[in-house]
Structure 1
Amino acid sequence: MRAQTVSIGEKIAFLSQAKNYSETTSTVEALETHMSWVFMTHDYVYKMRKPIRLSFLDFRTLADREHYGRESLRLNRRLAPDVYLDLLPLTVNEAGRLRLGGSGRVVEWLEKMRRLPRHAMLDCAIKRNTVKIADVDRFMAVLLDFYQRTGPVATTSDDYQRRFAQAIEANYLALAQPDFRIPQGLLKKLTAAQEEFVSSRGQLFDDRIAKGRVIEAHGDLRPEHVCLAPEPEFIDCIEFDRELRVLDIADELAFLAMECEMAGAAFIGTRIFDQYRARMGDELPDILIHFYKAHRATVRAKLSAWHVEDYPVAEHPSWLRQAERYLQLAASYVAQW
């Protein structure tokens, strides 16, 4: 291994070996995601960002990856203060030997996180059918505390509606690709309905902004990011694009509610908004919740379809079926406005 150059493959090979970690662990589980490599020891998780550029992020330089690693610590500590522990350098010495946390030349940066028990995550609890109303009330108490202490973000109705209009168009263009075989009639109907909602119901968005409900939130609040520990924690917020975190609280909660419904636990979403209305004193119109859910379901359909670029051909049909299920769910919300 030359000291001047360390390939991604060499980094992955080093980080996949238990002997290279300071803590005692018998195994290391390596997992590749769309944007990173994740290495899991017995007690900790280490996240290494890929040196990639996508339409919504740029991690190509080492400085970029260090910056977003530090942003991730700062932002995720808002809702998971005991999980996000440190940003560690992966270094190489003059002899070409790699070391995690060493004092040589830095060749990569890794977030170090406390490993949460998989069975305690909301998505697993939904699959086991063990989620109780008390669980929802506990995590909502933490979320609502966070929302109440987070000040509003200054924005205009025109800017807020423009973001939706652009996202709706981007969703359509992505899902209209012939290779995805998405039913075009369904896609066009959903796109037209969402475009019409944004253009004709501006007062709803005006009211949300005027009430201070647009904040710098989590941004990616899905069941797999909710830990039902005695003190609930929320992980993996969006660190790479502030605009994706700046949203209506109701939009964020509608995303979580929609994902719970997709997983077969619609009662969770009902309880989420019952708690929100009671605690925040916010007379949130149902029609806006339906819009937010439909929009989020369409975004998730797009992301599901994009997974065909990351997985073997044999897995493509399941991802495309999932994309269509999200669109069917979106259509059920559109039918309610």
Structure 2
Amino acid sequence: MPVKPDSGREPELEAKVAFLSRPDSYIEHPAHVETVETHMSWVFMTERFVYKLKKPVKHSFLDFSTLDDRRRDCLEEVRLNRRLAPDVYLGIIAITRDTENKLELDGDGEITEWLVKMRRLPADRMLDHLLRGQRIPEQEIRRFSCKLADFYRNAPPVHISAYDYRQQFLTDIHSNREELLDHDYRLPANLLDRITNSQLDVVCNQPELLDQRVKERRIVEAHGDLRPEHICLTEEPVFIDCLEFNRKLRILDPADELAYLAMECQLAGGEYIGPIVFACYSRKTGDDPPQPLLYFYKAYRATLRAKLSIWHIKDHSADQHQKWISRAKAYLHLADSYRSML
């Protein structure tokens, strides 16, 4: 769970957010600025560019506590995302403070913060937006799937033992259950037990499903957060917002990452996308992961997303709680549907 920044930093963060929310703060003089708050960042969107400000927070899996930490992560975010979105991530830019204590973008004064600067992508070409409309043409799905397949095929395998690979799942499965059983969330315990037990059964009683992936050297440094809202179907598809802050969470089986994407597409009404994605991946890489493994990955990812959804309760007002509880339940019922296919 998050550790909030000390009270001395909160007013400074508020000042930076207020500064970046004003159009006159930017060199390009936009007509307006759109703002979005996430768990770990504030995002500011002008007509042409996107600026990401990292919150000075600390979690068990990341540390943005200091200015140096945030600068380092900004650089890593640009480096990693240029693998799949080379023309989108433009670099990092400083917020400075002048001698009159006023904030500036990329001024000559003291550096008080670092931002990631990106080219803004067309919202109407993002996969999550397209899923809300008519069926996406298969040719477009194949185009982005082939780019992903090439990325995985060319990624060097990461050394990990079969035991360590399985242990990661065991740890996470138990952690997911423990978090989701919190009485404040009022989630059905019998549903959580069914989902958890089926995933544990795969790891403990069918270890060869996971061990074989390690033996075949399929584990790579992947994207880490491959969701529809991170895929833009421009003429050359791009994939943004990879998980930059913790390398361990990017060390994945491509089949796991693509199962995650297929699960998210299914929840958004695009169940037809997953089979096309995997057909392209298998054709390009020669890798045809077994169906029970894919259902395990999907169930595991849906449960993890339920946990991440329910965490929003701690960051939002009471009138938003039911939204996130319903979202978590939708993920859990989807995980349960995969459980029946294991």
Same fold? TM cut 0.5: yes
Match of 1:208 in 2: 213
Counterpart in the other structure of 1:151: 156
What does residue 25 of structure 2 align with? 20
Q: Which piece of structure 1 moves more, 113-122 or 11-20? A: 11-20
Structure 2 residues without counterparts, runs of 5 or longer: 1-7
SS at match of 1:128: coil
What is the match of residue 66 of structure 1? 71
Cα distance in 1 for partners of 2:191, 2:175 equals 16
In 2, Cα distance between the equivalents of 1:323 and 1:27? 34
Equivalence map 1:1-337=2 (5 Å)? 7-337=12-342
Shift of 1:55: 2.3
Q: Deviations over 1:38-61 (max 9, x none)?
A: 111110000000000122211111
Q: CA RMSD in A?
A: 1.2
Is the CA contact 2:155–2:221 (under 8 Å) kept in the aligned structure 1?
Answer: yes
Q: Please report how far the alpha carbon of residue 17 of structure 1 lies from its aligned counterpart in structure 2 after TM superposition.
A: 1.0
Q: What letter corresponds to residue 214 of structure 1 in structure 2?
A: I
Scaled by the length of structure 2, the TM-score of the pair is 0.96
Identity of aligned residues (%): 47
**In structure 2, C-alpha distance between the alignment counterparts of 1:331 and 1:129, rounded to whole Å:** 28
Deviations 1:72-118, CA, capped at 9 Å, x for gaps: 00000000000000100101122212111112111000000000011
1:136-162 CA distance string (max 9 Å, x none) = 100011111111111100000010001
Deviations 1:267-310 (A, max 9, x none): 00111111112221123100000000000000000011111111
Asked if the contact 2:150–2:284 (Cα under 8 Å) also holds between the matched residues in 1, the reply is: no
Within 1, Cα distance between the matches of 2:42 and 2:281?
36
**Helix, strand or coil: the match of 2:252?**
strand
Deviation at 1:216, TM superposition (A): 0.0
Task: Name the CA distance, whole Å, in 2 between partners of 1:24 and 1:130.
Answer: 38
Tell me how far 1:129 sits from its aligned partner: 2.1
Work out the CA distance in 1 between the residues paired with 2:103 and 2:113: 10
Partner Cα distance (1:141, 1:282) in 2:
13
In structure 2, what is the Cα distance between the partners aligned to 1:30 and 1:309? 20
Distance 1:51 1:202 in 2: 40
Q: Secondary structure at the match of 1:39?
A: strand
2-side partners of 1:266 and 1:14: how far apart? Answer: 42
Figure out how many residues of one structure are paired with residues of the other and give that number.
334
TM-score normalised to the size of structure 1? 0.97
State the distance in 2 between where 1:330 and 1:14 align: 42
- The code of the aligned residue for 2:107 comes to G
Query: 2:3: which partner in 1?
Result: none
Answer with 159-168 or 90-99: which moved more: 90-99
Aligned counterparts of 2:135 and 2:23: Cα–Cα separation in 1: 34
DSSP-derived class of the 2:272 partner: helix
Q: Which amino acid aligns with 1:34?
A: H
* Counterpart Cα distance in 1 of 2:290 and 2:37: 40
Counterpart of 1:57 in 2: which secondary structure? coil
Cα distance in 2, alignment partners of residues 80 and 225 from structure 1? 10
Report the residue type matching 1:39 in the other structure.
F
Once structures 1 and 2 are overlaid, which stretch shifts more, 14-23 or 284-293? 14-23
Distance 2:282 2:237 in 1: 20
What SS does the corresponding residue of 2:95 show, helix, strand or coil?
strand
**How far off its partner does 1:130 sit?**
4.0
| Structure 1 outlier segments of 4+, above 6 Å | none
Local SS of the residue matching 1:7 = helix
Unaligned runs of 5+ in 1: none
